[in-house]
Structure 1
Amino acid sequence: MLSFRLALSTRTDVAWHWDTDRWCRGDSWIRPVAHPALQHDIDQRPAVTTVLVRDAASPLTLPETTHHNRGGDSVAGAARGDALLLRIQPGRITLIAGVGGTVPLYLAADGGVLHGAWDLPALRRLTRRSGLLDRAVARALTRRHRYTSDTLFTDVTMLTERATATFTDSGLRNAYPAPAEHVTRSRVLRPGVEPTAVLSHLLTDAVRPWHESGLPVGLELSGGLDSATIAVAASETASAPLRTFGLVVNGALGAEQHRRRLTIARQVGAVDDILRAHDHAPFCESGIRASGAAHDPRGEFYREAFEALAERAAGIGVRIMLTGNGGDEIMAPRIDELPPPPPQPLTEVSWLGKRARDAVAEIDDNLAPSAVLPTPTLMGFAIHHPAYLRSGIWPVAPFTHPSLVRFAEQLPLELRRHKKLYRDYLSLAGLPPLVTHPQRTEHFRDLMQHGLRHHGLRLAERLLADGIILADQGFVDPDALRRTVQRAHQSTTVPSVLCDTLVLEVGLRSLQAATSTPAT
């Protein structure tokens, strides 16, 4: 929501002034994201400048926030929406995040200057000078991701939800908040309560502000239960036909997915737009990874396809994109209800180097505390949403409305398991078993295999011939990786975890090779 360059040495008795797309004072500047769904306010006082950036669903105002400025409680406790508070005082810069986490904020100190950006490549000059953080690289290579202020780089951190970052002459310090309170056990429904009606009410509350904004709204429609549920809720408050967008895979699975999409679109009166996912497979020649353009090494596995979808939506004027993100997480059984699946064995990543193997023991270090929203959802936002913002679209996940999260926490397991509540809601809306109880559910496993088989293996061979950064740093054993690639050529299945290594390596190389001047 913000990018900035803030120097502690900048004179505080000089007023900020607006210049083209940012606030400037001396050699410091603050650039809010320019989007009609976002608002920013600046309050200049003799001893402190306060900037608040928030989305249209946030109830916050700057006077209220500055009044409660000791702990930033009015930001952290926002009932809905997303917000970020920046406070600049002599010798001190403070940032406080809200609960939403719609887009990440990366922070890096460079002497007496604090840099911030929601798009990691904007900090690439600093990442090139930084070392790699062992536990973060181990998480990425073994697919054991965690919600934390850690990034891949020792000199770059991410501001997590409700966290506070403070920058002084002593450096940059991140402070996690207290764990968010949650309902830890399901409850028995009161007699006469209809949970589908409650779900409908809460989803309508979550979607309504975006329709009332007057901005063109789109919907990410996969054909699955989550996005279908959002489509039904959105259609009830929309004043114009919905525009839906989705990726359809090949084969019988894609054919059934396409039939579900047509059925949903017809039911809610949507105009549907389809992209063939296999035309934008991982590592395809037309994608950002093949181009060598600077990008976040932590990016979405299927970023080529989702970036194509974002560009298609932006091309017809969509400014708000509703998604079904978070739908899985709020219905997931708790650990005391059903045990989670076992972690992936390290033997599946046989090419790990000693440095990565040693760091596996540290992957649970420096974890953020319990968040208001499900942490897997927040992690997904950080890698999935910047592409939308680059395309001029503000992404919205109605399932992450805190009231809906709180409601789902209390539901009996029988309503959450297998998403029975969504199925009941969709059935009441008139959707047939093709949608509510599909024989095949959509997945991207075949797309992953296609991308690795047709593009990834050749890419791995080129990287091995050129020399791999991860191998030079001791995180990958190049001989073991070479053997894996050779075996994959003869096997019917390419190890999917090979994608994680290639994504990370290509991303690191893109940041090192970029020569254009970064914004920060």
Structure 2
Amino acid sequence: MFDIRLTHDDISPTRTWQWAGSRWQCGSSWIAPFRHQLTEQAALTDGIRTVFIAAARKTHSSPTRPEPTTVPPSTYDKTLRKLREDRDDWTTIELVPGQTARVRTGSACTAPQYLAVTGKVLHGSWDLLNLRDHQASDRLDPVAVTRMIGLRNRYSASTLWQDIKLLTERATAHFPDDGRLLIRFPEPAEHSRARSLLAGTDPIPLFRDLLERTVTRLPWTGSRTAVQLSAGMDSTTVALALRTAPQGTGVTAGTVVLDTERGLQQNGRRRLILEHIASGWTSITVNAMDHLPYGGTSLFSRAGRVSPTSDIYIDALETLAARFADLGVRAVFTGIGGDELMATTAAEDIAGPGGFEPDAPPWLGSAARALLVDVDSAITPAAVVPETALMAKTVCGPALMRRGMWPIHPLTDPLLVRFCEWLPVEWRRGKHLMRELIGRTGMPVQVARPPVVENFHHVIVTAMCRHGAPRIRQILSDGSPLIEARLLDPDGLAQVADRLEAGKPTGDDHEVVFALLADSALTTR
């Protein structure tokens, strides 16, 4: 939640930090929190230690002011302890003169926090693009790159660059006076196993109550709210919870619409959902096929680097976000976390998470293939919220925050996570619980059980056949740091381009988009 520039010269009891309108300042150092109606900021000092706090607001939380306040050591300690016990979405920066600066974060991580050290100066941002001065192509993290282009993403502190780290959930970053950056992971979060339901027990009312509690504890009402309503099970479940909440007044329901019969079915299902909600919501849509990645007007095709955490459908999503912003939207509810709530484990279902790894894609270079055995090294311990949901937040958060909007992910609430871990597998498999919840509303059966599978597979295959193949040819002609590092294999890339140009992709050829994205994050073409 912070943009940071911090030197140890300014970590001293003789130096005074002041609030300067949008950030705290002291000498050449400054700390700028992301400011929004759904976040709050505070600064405390006990005369020796100083802490800067940024947190997501909760209903009935006491108002805070950013101006630094001097308190007794006992109050200082109590405030931090209460923050960490009562909240899950927070980041703190604590300065201890003569020792270290510590950056800590909670378990929610709605806004990612990236950190880098250069010349004994700590830099940080929630937006990876703000740290572009630290993104040297000769300082790549080869394991992190291999995870991305090898389709083996893991939740870890690593980024594509050795000098930039992600502060993962509940982790602590230490910046001692010798100028190093050290990250300490927490103990693994405890998780539960599925239980058996008592005869006649219905889990849906409790699931609904927990979700509505998560939505209504936000101090937010009014017409500046949006929900990403694709008509999938996750977003529909969130929309139904919003329907009866104070936060559900005058909502804008937006989504990216698929192609052909999938899009026709999706639009029809969205219409039925909005008719059922009947709360005067506004509906806006963006056609996926009008905003293909690597097309002529794509953000990926323009001069300038992009973030490697960008969504591959960034063009459609940016168009949607811009329309939200034009309508004055300031808070966006998402369905992130729904897949994870309903996931089956590898032990329960061979298709569950961890049940398989894809074959090494043909574009992997020799160095990347040799590193495949290391993709599980230095990953985080078990998180409170499923790791894949946390990774999705790092993609979603900055894209909305750049436009002044705060993302809200109710399906990642820790109580919901624990409750769904307890659910018997038959309630999770195929998202049965969500489909049953939606079905009980009385909406037509196709809302909960659409006859045609809706996903972006055809969209991305089309994008790679039309625009991905020319981009590969350009990379092969101009060169790439990834080819120089033997992380990408030019012969394998050429073979994929041949198949895409012929309109005959095989297997996971369309997933080459992640190799293209990695290259786009490193080069300007």
State the TM-score bracket (shorter-chain normalisation).
over 0.9
Instruction: From the superposition, tell whether residues 233 and 9 of structure 1 become closer, same or farther in structure 2 (CA, over 3 Å).
Output: same
Aligned position for 2:9: 9
* Pair 1:160-2:160 in alignment: no
SS for the counterpart of 1:479 is helix
Q: Within 2, Cα distance between the matches of 1:273 and 1:210?
A: 24
Q: Within 2, Cα distance between the matches of 1:459 and 1:404?
A: 43
Instruction: From the superposition, tell whether residues 211 and 76 of structure 1 become closer, same or farther in structure 2 (CA, over 3 Å).
Output: closer
Query: Residue deviations 1:437-487, cap 9 Å, x none?
Result: 111232001110121122211122122211112101211122331232123
SS for the counterpart of 2:300 is helix
Query: Residue deviations 1:300-347, cap 9 Å, x none?
Result: 12122112111111110111111111011011112221133421111x
Q: Within 2, Cα distance between the matches of 1:295 and 1:109?
A: 21
Instruction: From the superposition, tell whether residues 446 and 475 of structure 1 become closer, same or farther in structure 2 (CA, over 3 Å).
Output: same
Query: Residue deviations 1:46-75, cap 9 Å, x none?
Result: 211111110113888898994158xx7655
Q: Which amino acid aligns with 1:163?
A: A
Instruction: From the superposition, tell whether residues 381 and 128 of structure 1 become closer, same or farther in structure 2 (CA, over 3 Å).
Output: same
SS for the counterpart of 1:496 is helix
Aligned position for 1:517: none
* Pair 1:297-2:308 in alignment: yes
Query: Residue deviations 1:399-458, cap 9 Å, x none?
Result: 111111111110111111111111111122222211111112320011101211222111
Higher relative contact order (CA closer than 8 Å, sequence separation 6+): 1
Q: Which amino acid aligns with 1:336?
A: A
Tell me if structure 1 keeps the 8 A contact 2:111–2:398: yes
SS for the counterpart of 1:9 is helix
Offset at residue 492 of structure 1 (A): 2.6
Q: Which amino acid aligns with 1:321?
A: V
Bigger shift: residues 448-457 or 220-229 = 448-457
Q: Quick one: which of 363, 374, 382 aligns to 1:370?
A: 382
Instruction: From the superposition, tell whether residues 165 and 392 of structure 1 become closer, same or farther in structure 2 (CA, over 3 Å).
Output: same
Instruction: From the superposition, tell whether residues 298 and 242 of structure 1 become closer, same or farther in structure 2 (CA, over 3 Å).
Output: closer
Gaps of 5+ in 2: 65-70
Q: Within 2, Cα distance between the matches of 1:14 and 1:344?
A: 54
Matches within 5 A, 1:98-497: 98-128=106-136, 131-170=139-178, 171-183=180-192, 185-191=193-199, 193-210=201-218, 212-214=220-222, 216-238=224-246, 240-269=249-278, 270-339=281-350, 340=352, 341-346=355-360, 349-493=361-505, 495-497=509-511
SS for the counterpart of 2:10 is coil
Aligned position for 2:55: 54
Q: Quick one: which of 100, 103, 121 aligns to 1:95?
A: 103
Instruction: From the superposition, tell whether residues 169 and 59 of structure 1 become closer, same or farther in structure 2 (CA, over 3 Å).
Output: farther
Matches within 5 A, 1:63-78: 66-67=76-77, 74=82, 76-78=84-86
Q: Which amino acid aligns with 1:357?
A: R
SS for the counterpart of 1:189 is coil
Tell me if structure 2 keeps the 8 A contact 1:224–1:441: no
Question: Percent identity over the alignment?
Answer: 32
* TM-score under structure 1 length normalisation: 0.92
Gaps of 5+ in 1: 514-520
Aligned position for 1:516: none
Aligned residues: 505
Aligned position for 1:503: 517
* TM-score under structure 2 length normalisation: 0.92
Q: Which amino acid aligns with 1:7?
A: T
Q: Within 2, Cα distance between the matches of 1:370 and 1:74?
A: 23
Q: Which amino acid aligns with 1:496?
A: H
